[in-house]
Structure 1
Amino acid sequence: MNTLNPDLVDTHARLQAAWRVLKPDLAQRRADLQRLRAAFRARQSAMDAAIAADFGHRSTHENLIAETLIVLAEIDHALAHLRRWSRPRGAAVGWRLWPASAKLRPMPVGVVGIIAPWNYPVNLALVPLVSAVAAGNHVFLKPSEHTPRTSEWLRDLLADVFPEDRVAVALGGADVGAAFASLPFDHLLFTGSTAIGRRVMAAAAPNLTPVTLELGGKAPAIVCPDYELDTAASRITTGKWFNAGQTCIGVDYALVDRARRDAFVAEIVRQLHARYGDIKGNPDYTRIINDAQFARLAGYVAQARVAGATVIAPFGDGDAATRLLPPVLVIDPPPSLRLMHEEIFGPVLPVLSYGSLDDAIACIAALERPLAMYPFSHSRANVDRLVDGTLAGGVTINDTLLHFGAQGLPFGGIGPSGMGAIHGKAGFDTFSKLLPVFRQRRFAVTDMLRPPYSRIDRVIRWLAR
């Protein structure tokens, strides 16, 4: 147990003790989710102001789409399906154990820890919280220190909805986050970078805490030769520059057939001008979260220019003082550049040309498994080749980002892009123990399976044939 932060230890102990005394039943869970929904809707303007202040500026409409819409949809989905998710599920025992029966009973695990990131600070805090509460757990949330106003908004929201022994919020920096990850949770969810995910997993290991990691990676969009460039460019532009590219499943790089590369780039530039116009005064373009992230991204662009890559900046250079970094395209950059082997997480898009789909698949396979992949093709054979030849956390075909908003789909990565899944039933199951319960009948054939075995030798050999 962590002895360096007694406040965290005491809060965790309070949540755990309360859960052991009175686990939330189905009626309590429904009431909690309904109160959360009402309170969340009532505080929309305050949330918008807090996020905008933390970012310097973020589009109100992007807040509505990425925070409000997603959270409300997750709550509504849980309320609609909670009773069915909570029922015991039938399980086969096999004819050899007849006439016994079995069920899987979803059981809450206890106290769930959630470490949320800064890029979607409300969505990525409350969506897993909804799943954990729906499953009957208590929750300890650690929101990001990089969005302090939004973190305080979350703390105040949850304090108005839940008793302090059911849901608690820990505020603080990286030191608090490290101590938080070392608490003996019954399950721990972390959303963030792969590098920090490794540290979180190491911190949880001494307690054998089960972890779910939602990380990132280099998500490719692949435009096949049969697909219309204007539609592909439009949807890739949306998937890249939403939230100024600060999206874990955002398009990290685009692969386009070599003959149409220049036309694709021209269409992307046209799309950007049509959407953002005078970008400095445009309310729809979000700022970079902090100075360190701005410097990192500007460094990628500077390195590409020094290496002699073709860099297209349709709106000119950025403004470090306001953290405005306009869209940048880097055409066929050398693979040695940092932006080609690190997750970009910003408004810089490498555009790579390929000769064949096998070349495109090889390019994707040379990098770590991504959290998302976006094939664009009307040909089922092309899409199947791309999906079968790679392995990503999730796939949206002929569009970007949208699989995240489908509550019926589990969301999660694989390998360096994460482990485990959340959203909808997958989130409910993640924060539950699917308890196997085997029921024997009053009279059972298995009562015969006891020594002396010589009397039932033939029966055992027949069963084991």
Structure 2
Amino acid sequence: MVADIAYIQEQQQSISRMQQVFETQRAAFRKAPMPSADERIQQLQALKQGVLKHQQALIEAINDDFGRRSADETRLAEIMPSLEGIHYASKRVRRWMKPSRRKVGLAFQPAKAQVVYQPLGVVGIIVPWNYPLFLAIGPLVTALSAGNRAMIKMSESTPRTAEVVTRMLGEIFSEEQVAVVTGEADVGVAFSKLPFDHLLFTGATSIGRHVMRAAADNLTPVTLELGGKSPAIISADVPLTDAAERIAFGKAMNAGQTCVAPDYILCPRSRVEELAETLHRSFTRMYPTLRDNADFTQIVNPRQYQRLQGYLTDAAEKGARILPANPANEDLSGTRIIPPTLLLDVNDEMTVMREEIFGPLLPILPYDSLDSALDYIADRPRPLALYYFGYNKVEQQRLMEQTHAGGMCVNDAVFHVAQDDMPFGGVGDSGMGHYHGYEGFLTMSKAKGVYIKQRYNGAKPIYPPYGGKLLNLVYKLFLR
């Protein structure tokens, strides 16, 4: 009971302090509502140096939070894209900030029109546990590029990473510019209820609905980066070795704990067995051992591990063939390691086909025609990503035009997320809005239209009292 009371008091104190920081940031923004390009670039460069300085501490912290996280995956999927995003924005923010000239209709001359891109104010960023650095730094880069102040809520599932990120950002920024919030679910709920000028959430679709409801009370605009079941489609004639090694990489990275990981494969019925064998060889080549292999990441915590084991048990009980890639036949008990595992003979009654997997399990479904594969996808909520493997350019174009997903790769998987010059975001159940690059700058800016007129007033002919030759001439010219 005493521990419970202490916990409640601690959470209440965190919430109170969080609200104070929010008010401080909002007051600071009112005093400096339009940071210059130089100020923004300086902030971005300081952030870059901070990430470089703390990269080893970040690698170690993320490894501790996961129990084992591949250091190379942290470098490749978190640190490197964070630095590349900073570099990309720093080189372009000056150009992005320039007012955009627009045309003024003849009837309203002489005048000028332009769009001015203003910072929104204070931006809230809710970070998930699966990529706790990249999914904090990426949105922060977007917010700073657009001239905003930011508050970041780190996941309670990655406390060591939260400590390092808090320390790193505290060395670079004052709390009135960038602040990090930690705490359990109660703090996260309170965070989503703050009247931010924009709120960006990355996480599960079910939680995204709650975040959007909370934001609606303040009419806070939201960007929701959710998940869903991202399909990979195998064409009738693509070399299976090409497709399998790219799918295997995208699926096994971070042990499948990636929102854009291929969630299931649609494969021509006659190629299913061969694809399964080829994928199995690809996984084996990448991960010849598992138990002590520093390249293969563990499942983040016991709850997620048990969830995935439950998916496997449910699928097996309902008739699925389970094909784990454990080439050394190691005993993995006492760990949170789940081998890359193929599932065949699956059906929609299985949990693994109803829920986002978020782990190294990969069902393969047969299809009899490309039309039926596209119908299968269209009958389900729109995914965050879609992958097509085939070298027929007509089919490639068809997939690009006739499917809906947050993003798409042709003959690859997951790498579209790392392209700074493309927007990233979901659609429907996989999210709304987008960030990264220029589109992110626009998302976190107010594009304010400004109409400018000087001394001469060309509109006087249309002022009351109405009538007269000039107004009739205006009607003849423009009512046509």
Q: TM-score if structure 2 supplies the norm length? A: 0.94
Residue 464 (1) aligns with residue 479 (2): yes
Q: Is the 8 A contact 2:290 2:330 kept in 1?
A: no
Q: Is the 8 A contact 1:227 1:378 kept in 2?
A: yes
Q: 2:216 aligns with which of 205, 210, 218?
A: 205
Letter in 1 for 2:218: N
Whole-angstrom CA distance in 2 between matches of 1:148 and 1:258: 45
Structure 2 match to 1:327: 340
Aligned partner of residue 454 in structure 1, secondary structure: coil
Structure 1 match to 2:304: 293
Whole-angstrom CA distance in 2 between matches of 1:383 and 1:267: 23
Q: Is the 8 A contact 1:113 1:140 kept in 2?
A: yes
Letter in 1 for 2:177: R
Residue 167 (1) aligns with residue 182 (2): no
Q: 1:438 aligns with which of 448, 451, 471?
A: 451
Letter in 2 for 1:457: N
Alignment of 1:335-374 (within 5 A): 335-374=348-387
Percent identity over the alignment is 44
Structure 1 match to 2:266: 255
Whole-angstrom CA distance in 1 between matches of 2:107 and 2:315: 66
Q: Is the 8 A contact 1:29 1:133 kept in 2?
A: yes
Whole-angstrom CA distance in 2 between matches of 1:168 and 1:67: 20
Q: 2:100 aligns with which of 76, 79, 89?
A: 89
Instruction: Identify which range, 315-324 or 157-166, moves more after superposition.
Output: 315-324
Whole-angstrom CA distance in 2 between matches of 1:9 and 1:319: 45
Q: Is the 8 A contact 1:341 1:367 kept in 2?
A: no
Alignment of 1:4-23 (within 5 A): 5-23=15-33
Whole-angstrom CA distance in 2 between matches of 1:114 and 1:246: 20
CA distance change for structure 1 residues 94 and 459 in 2, over 3 Å: closer, same or farther?
Answer: closer
The Cα shift of 1:319 comes to: 4.0
Q: Is the 8 A contact 2:14 2:183 kept in 1?
A: no
The Cα shift of 1:277 comes to: 0.7
Whole-angstrom CA distance in 1 between matches of 2:401 and 2:38: 44
The Cα shift of 1:383 comes to: 1.5
Instruction: Identify which range, 92-101 or 123-132, moves more after superposition.
Output: 92-101
The Cα shift of 1:449 comes to: 1.2
Whole-angstrom CA distance in 1 between matches of 2:307 and 2:22: 36
The Cα shift of 1:440 comes to: 2.1
The Cα shift of 1:387 comes to: 2.5
The Cα shift of 1:3 comes to: 11
The Cα shift of 1:441 comes to: 4.4
Letter in 1 for 2:192: A
Letter in 2 for 1:66: A
Whole-angstrom CA distance in 2 between matches of 1:69 and 1:311: 35
Q: Is the 8 A contact 1:3 1:9 kept in 2?
A: no
* Deviation per residue, 1:350-395 (Å, 9 max, x gap): 0111111001101111211000111111112111222222200011
Q: Is the 8 A contact 2:291 2:330 kept in 1?
A: no
Unaligned residue ranges in structure 2 (runs of 5+) = 1-11
Q: 1:129 aligns with which of 136, 140, 147?
A: 140
CA distance change for structure 1 residues 256 and 78 in 2, over 3 Å: closer, same or farther?
Answer: same
Residue 49 (1) aligns with residue 60 (2): yes
Whole-angstrom CA distance in 2 between matches of 1:464 and 1:155: 61
Aligned partner of residue 433 in structure 1, secondary structure: strand
Unaligned residue ranges in structure 1 (runs of 5+) = none
Structure 2 match to 1:395: 408
Letter in 2 for 1:9: Q
Whole-angstrom CA distance in 2 between matches of 1:321 and 1:201: 39
Alignment of 1:141-152 (within 5 A): 141-152=152-163
Whole-angstrom CA distance in 1 between matches of 2:32 and 2:209: 34
CA distance change for structure 1 residues 182 and 4 in 2, over 3 Å: closer, same or farther?
Answer: farther
Alignment of 1:55-66 (within 5 A): 55-66=66-77
The Cα shift of 1:461 comes to: 5.1
Aligned partner of residue 221 in structure 1, secondary structure: strand
Q: Is the 8 A contact 1:372 1:394 kept in 2?
A: yes
CA distance change for structure 1 residues 320 and 460 in 2, over 3 Å: closer, same or farther?
Answer: farther
CA distance change for structure 1 residues 318 and 363 in 2, over 3 Å: closer, same or farther?
Answer: farther
Residue 36 (1) aligns with residue 8 (2): no
Q: Is the 8 A contact 2:291 2:332 kept in 1?
A: no
Q: Is the 8 A contact 1:294 1:320 kept in 2?
A: no
Structure 1 match to 2:418: 405
Residue 385 (1) aligns with residue 398 (2): yes
Aligned partner of residue 369 in structure 1, secondary structure: coil
CA distance change for structure 1 residues 318 and 383 in 2, over 3 Å: closer, same or farther?
Answer: farther
The Cα shift of 1:5 comes to: 2.8
Q: Give the CA RMSD over aligned residues.
A: 1.6
Aligned partner of residue 25 in structure 2, secondary structure: helix
Whole-angstrom CA distance in 2 between matches of 1:187 and 1:464: 41
Structure 2 match to 1:186: 197
The Cα shift of 1:241 comes to: 0.9
The Cα shift of 1:317 comes to: 8.7
Whole-angstrom CA distance in 1 between matches of 2:46 and 2:174: 12
Whole-angstrom CA distance in 1 between matches of 2:218 and 2:282: 50
Q: Is the 8 A contact 1:236 1:400 kept in 2?
A: yes
CA distance change for structure 1 residues 241 and 308 in 2, over 3 Å: closer, same or farther?
Answer: same
Residue 99 (1) aligns with residue 114 (2): no
Q: Is the 8 A contact 1:121 1:143 kept in 2?
A: yes
The Cα shift of 1:464 comes to: 2.5
Letter in 2 for 1:107: Q
Q: Is the 8 A contact 1:314 1:328 kept in 2?
A: yes
CA distance change for structure 1 residues 115 and 320 in 2, over 3 Å: closer, same or farther?
Answer: farther
Q: Is the 8 A contact 2:114 2:449 kept in 1?
A: yes
Residue 223 (1) aligns with residue 234 (2): yes
Whole-angstrom CA distance in 2 between matches of 1:449 and 1:371: 51
Whole-angstrom CA distance in 2 between matches of 1:453 and 1:236: 70
Aligned partner of residue 474 in structure 2, secondary structure: helix
Q: Is the 8 A contact 1:318 1:326 kept in 2?
A: no
Residue 311 (1) aligns with residue 322 (2): yes
The Cα shift of 1:320 comes to: 5.9
